[in-house]
Amino acid sequence: MRTFNTDVMIIGAGPAGSTAAALIQKAGFDCMIIEKQTFPRFVIGESLLPRCMDLLDEAGLLDAVKAENFMLKDGAVFKRGSETCTFRFDQQFTSGWGYTYQVPRERFDQVLAETVASKGVPILWQHGVTDVEFREDGSSVSMLEAPDGSQVSVTARFILDGSGYGRVLPRLLDLDEASMLPLRESYFTHVTGDRRPVGEGEGRIWICILDDPDNAWMWIIPFSDGKTSVGVVAKPDFLARYPEDPDEKLRAIIDDNVNTRGRLANCEFTFPVKRISGYSISAKKLYGKGFALMGNATEFLDPVFSSGVTLALESANRAAKTLIAQLQGESPDWQTAYVDHLMLGVDTFRTFVTAWYDDRLPTIFYSPIKPEVLQQQICSVLAGYVWDEENPCVRHHERTVEVIAKACAQYG
Ligand SMILES: Cc1cc2nc3c(=O)[nH]c(=O)nc-3n(C[C@H](O)[C@H](O)[C@H](O)COP(=O)(O)OP(=O)(O)OC[C@H]3O[C@@H](n4cnc5c(N)ncnc54)[C@H](O)[C@@H]3O)c2cc1C
């Protein structure tokens, strides 16, 4: 059996895995990434938030991303019938990046992984982690399955799990926990023939609210190669109103809405429509002796505010820094250094997601009485600056959303 020995074994070469690897390698510790697939591989989650730019920069990955000429995203546009609410990231409360990118993930993830590999981090491609045994001192021996079916073992001082929807350690250690959010599904594809806005605003994501009391919505995410990502997110009962065949379903939903129809009426799908369901999930704990979870292996909320990659990068950044302190002989408190920090951002997004679907947030978005400073504070949340406690929409997220939504409903 082939065997490896490393300080840190990282599961998954997605954005969480690559970011953690870059930071650990920079700090002078050995790490290796185990990735089940070969890249490029498709994964959904293509619209970044400006906060990603800080995190990519800190990991030494931003220059490689910038060199790809991805579509520049400088804001988000929320459409409801004839109403439009636009957030421009250069007009926000928190001082941060005014733009980010729309990224086909097969290329984005490959660039991150290749950059990390070029810095000297070994990546075992097409090796899936199948089993992990922890020892008393937190070190572990993991079993991997190689492409030829043979077994490989990795001994590590610590494991960072960035396995995304694979959820390797949550499954092996029985850490999966049901999400508080109700079941929603998504149908999506890439298209050609999107009639985009020309000039300013070309790269902004459009979120189009559909005719549904539960605020089902569609995304339109333009890429720089001329293709556009299109998808719907809704509860099963909304989706059941449309044809069963996934291509026909998505086409019918597009045609049913004035905003999506306006851009996509004559578009062509570049691959058969894909479906993903039951993606909202949580974890009983985010760390234990010898391991920590990152990215989607922790908790995934909902796609509506494009928070997934931002939370993957932030969790990787924090987990890596906490681990580096530990490997340097300190005794960091993982609860405060990692979990409490991460959850401030997750909980802020959770409040926004809940308020989206129960209509409090659209009530605020389309209110004529919404003050400019509130627009900027909300914009910073939508830009991913959900750790800025100077922002009342972060520090008192629940109360702020509740009070403002009531005022907007009453007077707006
Ligand atoms: C419908 C939908 C739309 C979304 N839209 C957005 C969006 O616009 N913007 C956004 O930021 N996020 C979005 N997301 C969320 C986004 O997909 C994820 O948050 C993001 O991909 C998480 O990154 P990650 O690094 O944690 O995991 P991933 O990117 O999923 O990477 C995990 C890697 O681990 C590997 N792996 C799995 N199992 C094993 C194993 N046993 N051994 C070794 N390797 C393994 C996988 O092959 C994979 O490459 C969306 C999600 C959904 C469901």
Whether residue 169 sits in one domain with residue 266? no
Atom of ligand 1 nearest to the CA of 52: 11
Domain boundary among 227, 252, 277: 277
CA of 214 to the centre of ligand 1 (A): 26
Residue at 320 is within a domain: yes
Whether residue 235 sits in one domain with residue 121? no
CA of 165 to the centre of ligand 1 (A): 6
CA of 331 to the centre of ligand 1 (A): 30
Nearest protein CA to atom 1 of ligand 1, as residue? 186
Atom of ligand 1 nearest to the CA of 310: 11
CA of 199 to the centre of ligand 1 (A): 31
Domain boundary among 299, 321, 344: 344
CA of 136 to the centre of ligand 1 (A): 31
Whether residue 251 sits in one domain with residue 147? no
CA of 370 to the centre of ligand 1 (A): 35
Whether residue 336 sits in one domain with residue 194? no
Whether residue 368 sits in one domain with residue 336? no
Whether residue 309 sits in one domain with residue 212? no
Whether residue 62 sits in one domain with residue 150? yes
Residue at 85 is within a domain: no
Q: What is the pLDDT of residue 278?
A: 87
Whether residue 395 sits in one domain with residue 327? no
Whether residue 57 sits in one domain with residue 169? yes
The 3-state secondary structure of the chain reads CEEEEEEEEEECCCHHHHHHHHHHHHCCCCEEEECCCCCCCCCCCCECCCHHHHHHHHCCCHHHHHCCCCEEECEEEEEECCEEEEEECCCCCCCCCCCEEECCHHHHHHHHHHHHHHCCCCEECCCEEEEEEECCCCCEEEEEECCCCCEEEEEEEEEEECCHHHCHHHHHCCCEEECCCCCCEEEEEEEECCCCCCCCCCCCEEEEECCCCCCCEEEEEECCCCCEEEEEEECHHHHCCCCCCHHHHHHHHHHCCHHHHHHHCCCEECCCCEEEECCCEEECCCEECCEEECHHHCCECCHHHCCHHHHHHHHHHHHHHHHHHHHCCCCCCHHHHHHHHHHHHHHHHHHHHHHHHCCHHHHHHCCCCCCHHHHHHHHHHHCCCCCCCCCHHHHCHHHHHHHHHHHHHHHC
Residue at 91 is within a domain: no
Q: d(Cα 59, Cα 34) in Å, to the nearest integer?
A: 19
Residue at 83 is within a domain: no
CA of 43 to the centre of ligand 1 (A): 6
Q: What is the pLDDT of residue 412?
A: 66
Atom of ligand 1 nearest to the CA of 297: 26
Whether residue 39 sits in one domain with residue 147? yes
Residues within 6 Å of ligand 1 by CB: 11-17, 34-37, 43-47, 128-129, 162-166, 168, 186, 231, 276, 279, 295-296, 300, 303, 306, 308-310, 312
Choice from 230, 273, 309 to test ligand 1 binding pocket (greatest atom count within 8 A of CB): 309
Nearest protein CA to atom 30 of ligand 1, as residue? 164
Domain containing 64: what range? 2-71+99-178+280-344
Query: What is the mean pLDDT, run by run of 10 residues, along the chain of 412 residues?
Result: 97 98 98 98 97 98 98 98 97 98 98 98 98 97 97 98 97 93 95 96 98 96 98 98 98 98 97 94 96 95 95 98 98 98 97 97 95 96 98 97 94 72
Residue at 262 is within a domain: yes
Domain boundary among 259, 277, 295: 277
pLDDT digits (tens, 9 = 90+) for 371-388: 999 999 999 999 999 999
CA of 402 to the centre of ligand 1 (A): 31
Residue at 80 is within a domain: no
CA of 215 to the centre of ligand 1 (A): 24
CA of 311 to the centre of ligand 1 (A): 11
Whether residue 33 sits in one domain with residue 168? yes
CATH for 263: 3.30.9.100
pLDDT digits (tens, 9 = 90+) for 22-67: 999 999 999 999 999 999 999 999 999 999 999 999 999 999 999 9
Atom of ligand 1 nearest to the CA of 307: 11
Residue at 385 is within a domain: yes
Whether residue 232 sits in one domain with residue 154? no
Structural domains of the chain, count: 3
Q: What is the pLDDT of residue 140?
A: 98
Choice from 32, 35, 131, 154 to test ligand 1 binding pocket (greatest atom count within 8 A of CB): 35
Nearest protein CA to atom 50 of ligand 1, as residue? 45
Residue at 388 is within a domain: yes
Choice from 143, 280, 296, 304 to test ligand 1 binding pocket (greatest atom count within 8 A of CB): 296
CATH for 288: 3.50.50.60
